[in-house]
Structure 1
Amino acid sequence: MLLGIVDIGSNAIKYKIFNTKDNSLVEYYREPLRLGRDAFTQGFLSELTLKQLTIVLERFKRVFLEKNIEKQFYMATSAIRDCTNKDEIICLLKKQNIDLKIISGDTEAGLLKEFKANVDSYAILDIGGGSVEAFVSVNSQTYARSFQLGAVRLLNKDKSYKEKEMNNFGNWLKQHAPVKKLYGLGGNLRAIFEANNHSGPLSSKEFTEFVKEYNSVSKKDLIEKFSIPEDRIDIIPLAAEIYEHSLASLNCNVIENSFWSISDGLFKQILNRNL
């Protein structure tokens, strides 16, 4: 059976299609749509943005129909959960036979426990547009928490907000330090690696050099030479700051990127009939 999971984030809308027979990922697709621009400045989605969202989701639904996807899940995270008109959004999509679930930050962070690491002490960071979900496993103890530190959110906040939230985030991480490895999920870290023609683990010192190199590359080259999505370019430097701050706070010397996402975590829980 094929199962489709749509992740409606603050900077893009993505879907993953999984095969439940062998638990494999069949297809991945990402559509840029910065819901956070509305959500983190005015507190709601404008009519235009809501129309754009509806068009994208209706297209995804048609794709799922064409591909004979038997089960579909639509989940929204930080941007929509911060919107004052989220009930209107849910009702509007329900008329299109789209059952939208808005998950809390704690639920989002909790999905990271399904990630399988290859070391006994580690941390996972999922830096989204609206929030950062963190998960730490040390001495068989696990800790998960969501922080209002997403890269799109920070684009729309002042310096004092950023400093306060980064300090709170760092203090929480320090409580669980040290860890052997930090896993970064998603395209922001992957873009930094790709701009440096690298894959696999990286030392914290090398990562700092990679960030410098990334920041020195022109926007044109990032797009044309390294195929970095244009909508990511302004948020990647902020994500890099969060990763560097995390490595220091965790007293961690190794960082690695993973294509794994909360959609994979949700898929695991669906298989285990927890959802």
Structure 2
Amino acid sequence: KITNDFSKTVRTADGLKSTGMISTETIERIIASIDEAKLQGFDFHNDLVKAVSTQALRVAKNQAEVVEAIYKSTGVKFEIIDGETEAELTLNGVKRRMELLNLCMDSFMVLDIGGGSTELIFVFYDEVVTKSFPIGIVTLTQSYSSLDEIRANIAQEMQEVQKFIFEVYANHGRVKLFLATAGTPTSVASMKLGMNFKTYDKDKINGTVLYHKDLDIEFKKLFTMSKVEKIEAVGEGRDDLIGTGMLIYDSIFIFSGMNESIVVDDGLVEGLLLEG
């Protein structure tokens, strides 16, 4: 049972593509977010804490220094988990929500779009096939000068993802369900349901069906918004990234041949909680 919840976009992968390092500014944002969580009732000194970091710290040249700096300032020690562990934890979180939604779990695909990477998980009964790709909403956004440029290059950027999906289909067949988790799908679902960042309700998000056409509808809405309106819609720190995430999401729809996806808020965090 979740008794307290806090979320903050810190963009750990900010600048990583060009420098290979986690910047001092990013470390300060992470520390500030932990301090903010403390003010909201989280006791990181007396409670049992499990803190993990994923792709950005996996590839950062200064990963050890970053972990140590955060620990010295906050007392929170981050564990850098590998892609396989990340996928396993995310899958466990998603499966728990699928059970609560009474969804068939015979065969399905999970999409998890992060800041520094995108994970795809295929489940065929007891067999799991997963792969992590170094394509995230932060790193991809910072590789190009505009969203139009990203759109023009997205097919090339996603070639390895397309190849992987086709290989999985060739070896195992198509999946019955497409599940999508993490910030991009949940933000798009929130926009579709008429919510914004402040009124976001994960209970309403869980199980929301997003059709492929919904992405185009919400993408067009996004283009009419000012920066302030985007921040109100999806939150500060995500406003300039959501378009990139939607292009990645759109590519998965195309490659998989699926017309609809089921959005779940549950993922890595819930998988960690289930691990205990």
SS in 1 for 2:20: coil
TM (norm. structure 2) is: 0.77
Per the alignment, in what secondary structure is the counterpart of residue 28 of structure 1?
Answer: coil
Match of 1:155 among 133, 141, 150: 141
Match of 2:7 among 30, 41, 45: 30
Q: Which amino acid aligns with 1:149?
A: I
**5+ unaligned residues in a row in structure 1: which ranges?**
1-23, 271-275
Deviation per residue, 1:154-177 (Å, 9 max, x gap)? 012256985444010011112234
CA deviation after TM superposition for structure 1 residue 238, in Å? 1.4
The equivalent position to 2:68 in structure 1, one of 81, 91, 105, is: 91
Higher helix share: 2
For 1:72, what is the secondary structure of its paired residue? coil
Higher mean C-alpha displacement, 135-144 vs 57-66: 57-66
SS in 1 for 2:2: strand
SS at match of 1:26: coil
Counterpart in 2 of 1:221? 229
Q: Give the direction of change, closer, same or farther, for the CA distance of 1:186–1:251 in structure 2 (3 Å limit).
A: same
Percent identity between the two aligned chains = 21
Match of 1:65 in 2: 43
**Aligned residue identity for 1:183:** L
Who is 1:170 aligned against?
A: 162
User: Among 111, 115, 122, which residue is 1:136 paired with?
Assistant: 122
Structure 1 residue 268, shift from structure 2 partner: 1.6
| Partner amino acid, structure 2, of 1:104 | D
CA RMSD in angstroms comes to 2.6
**Cα deviation, residue 64, structure 1:** 2.1
Residues 161 and 104 (structure 1), Cα distance of their counterparts in 2 relative to 1, 3 Å cut: farther
- 8 A contact 2:27–2:70 mirrored in 1: no
Is the CA contact (8 Å cut-off) linking 1:112 and 1:135 kept in structure 2? no
Q: Contact 2:51/2:79 (CA < 8 Å) preserved in 1? A: yes
1:52 aligns with 2:29: yes
Q: Which residue of 2 aligns with 1:202?
A: 210
How many residues were matched structurally? Answer: 243
CA change 1:76–1:208 in 2 (3 A) is closer
Opposite residue 266 of structure 1, the aligned amino acid is: L
Shift of 1:185: 0.8
Deviation of 1:123 (Å):
0.8
Alignment correspondent of 1:182 = 178
C-alpha deviation, 1:103, in angstroms: 1.1
CA contact (8 A) 1:184 1:255 kept: yes
Greater CA deviation, 236-245 or 158-167? Answer: 158-167
Is the 8 Å Cα contact of residues 39 and 83 (structure 1) preserved in structure 2?
A: yes
How far the C-alpha of 1:34 sits from its partner, in A, is: 2.2
Structure in which a larger fraction of residues adopt strand: 1
